[in-house]
Amino acid sequence: MDLVVLLNTVNLTSGAGFLLARAAGCTVRRRDRFWEATGYSWSQPRAAAFTVGCVVLSRRPVSEVVWQHEQAHVRQYAVLGPAFWPAYALAAGWSWLRTGDWWSRNAFERGAGLTAGGYVERPVRRFGRRSRGDVPAAGPVSA
């Protein structure tokens, strides 16, 4: 058995993915080493595709580029198991604070490839910092 498939079976994330796919009315078929669940009918998440364990869920079959991106998430699940979910939420929150979106500084999305995932990277916000020129002079300006 494939090691990633074995790990995601043992850590129960693939089981969660299959249950979600079934509940959301997906058709599940094997694609390469993993599973593609198409026909996802729920409104959330709004992403074109997302991954739970070894199951890639989407409304329509995904392109090869997106499939490669989602396979990286499959491997992230193999490393973290169910801890992927809170870790991903923290990474998304960090990204939101730094850039105003949940992917640009999200280590999981960066690791999977932002461009392959269809994301446009935003620059880091520079709030809360002042350049030397912004700092008011100490003491009264005139005396």
Give which of 107, 16, 74 is closest to 66, Cα–Cα.
74
Task: Please check whether residue 106 is in contact with residue 91, taking contact to mean a CB–CB distance below 8 angstroms.
Answer: yes
- Select from 15-23, 83-91, 103-111, 123-131 the region that touches Zn ion (CB under 5 A): 103-111
> Distance between alpha carbon 99 and the CA centroid of its chain, in Å?
15
Q: Which of 80, 117, 127, 129 binds Zn ion (CB under 5 A)?
A: 117
Q: E strands, 8-54, where?
A: 27-31, 34-38, 49-52
Q: Does 26 engage in binding with Zn ion (CB under 5 A)?
A: no
Q: Does 62 engage in binding with Zn ion (CB under 5 A)?
A: no
Q: Which of 83, 112, 136, 141 binds Zn ion (CB under 5 A)?
A: 112
Nearer to Zn ion, 36 or 109 (CB): 109
